[in-house]
Chains A and B, each alone.
Chain A
Amino acid sequence: MFNLSPTEWSAVWLSLKVATGVALVTAIPAVLLGWLLARREFRGKVALESIIHAPLVVPPVATGYLLLILFGRTGYMGRWLEEWFGWRLIFTWQGAVLASAIVALPLAVRSVRLAVSLVDRGLEEAAQTLGYHPARVFFKITLPLAGPGILGGILLAFSRSLGEFGATITFAGNIEGATQTLPLAIHAALQIPGEETAAMRLVVFSIGLCFLSLITSEWLTRKAKRKLEARG
């Protein structure tokens, strides 16, 4: 049952590639936005929060459709990217990364925000009075202390993108070997009568992969926390 066909293996590898891409792409925006929401008061904060969190509640297929309009060949961003850089996101694995990243970003931002808000502000103030300018406070105090939570958030985004379906199929399509990640492969298998066994195989594999990634995330978080406590 666990003998995956080459097509199915390619779906697995593609899923991991896309998820890794999502982790890399969301890391910096998630840290910046999470810190901003945890530490700064500014006009339009509520609006920014709503926009960041929207992909959590908007149907992913709607997110994919909006991306299609924006980044499609005739879309504003899509035309611009193609004209200046020769990049095309639609129907490519990079497009799948973009779609997954937008859906996964709010989860990462929430984790970072929580992690940063748990860092004692008093420590940041103490550093300031010692002459640390704000960027130095961030990199030397806030970031290391919030590290485990930030790492956990990025791995959560990784895990979320392993399960992403709606936005990806709408924006990147379901192209075997190019954009067909595991969830999309399951969907494709279910379309064909008599392929239920193959679909089940992929479902089991997909669940295993997601659990593995969540457990790794939890393990890394704990390890980082232990390391932090041992040093402190």
Chain B
Amino acid sequence: MNLDVDISLKQGRFLLAAEFRCTDSAFGIFGPSGCGKTTLFRALAGLARPDGGHIILNGEPLFDADRHLFVPPHKREIGLVFQEARLFPHWSVEQNLRAGECLKHRVASRPYGFDDIVDLLNIQHLIGRSVELLSGGEKARIAMGRTLLAHPRLLLMDEPVAGLDVSLKRQILPFLAKVHEALKIPAILISHNLDQILQFTDRILLMRNGSVVGNNRLDQLVQDPETLQELKGAELTNLLKLRVRNHDKARGTTTLDLPDAPAELAIEMEWCPDFPPGQHIHIGVAANHIALATTKIEAISIRNQFPGRVKKIIHTPGRSICLLDTSFGTLFAEITPGTEQDMKLKAGAGVWILFKSHSIHSM
């Protein structure tokens, strides 16, 4: 995906003035409610017409104020999964799904079929049902399926799990990542929950008051005090891509290889036999679950202990982040100013980095 956006759009007293470029196949938009995330999506999909600027997707202008160019939504081939499912109440589940297949040329060039989507979203048993009788999570999946069946060249997802309870969120979120990986459709995800975005991608567009205030990977965003400040309130998580070494049921652990590190250095997480040895998996370690020590500690239950070096410490009001160089990349840990003083942490200082097996979750 090559997306080039520079638009201004006035809605009453609110002004959206968003400028960014993105060449990644996926990114998340993070920001507080009312910061213009949804309005930006509506402009991308063609449901709202900006007052000025341009939107260019893969070299093709979709909107250009100077040239009076505006491609209407039905010609953009951009799929939008709305916050509410917006299923057509006068049609059955199958008719709703087939609504996505209204354009024959898009279906003809689609590398996946109706049944593939039904299998992917696990909705076989819903096909014959009436839309009104579905639960929230089922509606969300049908809405997702309908959009995917239209074979969009860009998929926009606006808080697709908002309003669902925690167990339903756990049910839907893996589908999003799976959909993106399996179907290779570039996708943008809106969420006010950073964790949800991180399950999908670590490439983040930060928005506030109608403007883009950051556009980078999370590990870069935490290094800049300004963008770190914009992330206030969000739970920061280190993302690592590691290879599964083995599973030890007796010890209750799964061991993960660290890249470019000696064999004795490995990460232990809770026993997690879902992934076969040799497979690369994404794991997350919350920044506030990382402890620092001046020496290695033997008599303690914390299994993961690695030597590292303080790269720098970034301060914002209410939060301090310690960047750590390790043999397997940079990690960030959340510390209190007290810790910093007591341990005399400063750039260049050697430390041990500690986190429990239970602090690791697969993403």
A residues within 8 Å of B by Cβ?
Answer: 120, 122-123, 125-134, 136, 141, 144-145, 228-232
Name the 4 nearest CB pairs between A and B, nearest first: A232-B89, A126-B86, A128-B73, A131-B103
The smallest C-beta distance from A130 to any residue of chain B, in angstroms, reads 5
Residues on A with C-beta less than 8 A from B131 are 232
The interface centre, meaning the residue of A122, A129, A132, A229 with most chain B CB atoms within 10 A of its CB, is: A129
Residue-by-residue, is B67-84 near A (CB-CB < 8 Å gives 1, otherwise 0)? 000001111111110101
Measured as residues with beta carbon below 8 angstroms from the partner, the interface class of chain B is 20 to 34
Q: When the two chains form their complex, are residues B91 and A231 in contact, meaning their CB atoms are under 8 A apart?
A: yes
Q: How far is the CA of A225 from the CA of B84 in the complex (A)?
A: 23
Which residues does B use to contact A, with CB under 8 Å? 45-47, 72-80, 82, 84, 86, 88-92, 99-100, 102-103, 106, 130-132, 146-147, 150
- Is A130's CB under 8 angstroms from B47's CB? no
> How many residue pairs, one in A and one in B, have C-beta atoms under 8 Å apart?
75
Closest-by-CB residue of A relative to B105 is: A131
Report yes or no: B90 in contact with A144, Cβ–Cβ below 8 A: yes
Measured between beta carbons, the chain B residues less than 8 angstroms from A136 are 102
Contacts of A230 in B (CB 8 A): 130
* A131 and B150 form a contact (CB under 8 A): yes
Interface residue from A122, A228, A232 paired with B84 (Cβ < 8 Å): A122
Consensus secondary structure, chain A interface: helix
Residue from B72, B80, B88, B150 with most neighbouring chain A CB atoms (10 Å): B88
Name the residue on B nearest A131 (C-beta). B103
- B residues in contact with A231, CB < 8 Å: 90-92, 130
What's the nearest-Cβ distance from chain A to residue B112, in Å? 16
In angstroms, Cα B72 to Cα A126, docked, is 13
B79 pairs with A129, CB closer than 8 A: yes
Q: How far is the CA of A125 from the CA of B80 in the complex (A)?
A: 10
Among candidates A126, A131, A132, A228, residue contacting B82 with C-beta atoms closer than 8 Å: A126
Which residue of chain A has its CB nearest to the CB of B151? Answer: A131
**Interchain CB contact under 8 A, A232 and B90:** yes
A residues less than 8 Å from B103 (CB atoms): 131
Contact assessment for A129 and B80 in the assembled complex, using a CB-CB cutoff below 8 Å: yes
Q: How many angstroms between the C-alpha atoms of A231 and B93 in the bound complex?
A: 11
Contact check, B90 vs A130: say whether CB atoms are below 8 A apart: no
Please give, as numbers and ranges, the residues of chain A lying within 8 Å of B80 by CB-CB distance: 126, 129
Is the Cβ of A130 less than 8 Å from the Cβ of B84? no
Within the complex, the shortest CB–CB distance from B79 to chain A, in Å, comes to 6
Establish whether residues A133 and B90, one from each chain, have CB atoms under 8 Å apart when the complex forms: no
**B45 to A129, Cβ gap below 8 A?**
yes
